Structure 1
């Protein structure tokens, strides 16, 4: 009886786990048409990594760090400092 219950539980977990879609950490990064649109969601812009330094002078807000989001919106990085749409 114990063996049947264990087998039933294990098979249910395996089947249930196979039916659930895997969670992706690489969510599709949104491409914005311009900096005004990007700044609505990310006030400080988007940085490709935490170690980049702003070349454009003082900014009011810290950038959001996301390599994927920066890559999709890298055309909006006018001064090529690794931060797109900084303000």
Structure 2
């Protein structure tokens, strides 16, 4: 009985960690319907890389950098500057 408890506890911790990392990946690649919805979560929009610059001029907020999130929302990047829904 004393040996089974640590094994069951370890297995439970390992499976909970693996499931939580899978859900984080799915959340990162969320596709938004329009810029209003995306800007509720990311005020400055979403940039594909940290070194991209905005073509449209000044912005109020710095964009969140995530390649997977940008790739899921490329349709929202109207000016094709690799920043979707910049503000």
Counterpart position of 2:58: 58
Counterpart position of 2:26: 27
TM-score (norm: length of structure 2): 0.75
SS in 2 for 1:26: helix
User: Which sits farther off after the overlay, 8-17 or 65-74?
Assistant: 8-17
Change (3 A) 1:16 1:39: closer
Counterpart position of 2:84: 84
Structure 1 unmatched ranges of 5 or more: none
Q: RMSD across aligned C-alpha pairs, in angstroms?
A: 2.2
TM-score (norm: length of structure 1): 0.75
Change (3 A) 1:19 1:57: closer
**Whose helix fraction is larger, Structure 1's or Structure 2's?**
2
Cα distance in 2, alignment partners of residues 19 and 84 from structure 1: 35
1:41 aligns with 2:37: no
1:15 aligns with 2:14: no
C-alpha distance after superposition, 1:32-56 (max 9, x if no partner) = 1111111111111000111111111
Cα distance in 1, alignment partners of residues 7 and 71 from structure 2: 42
| Matched residue count | 83
Choose 1 or 2 for highest CA Rg: 1
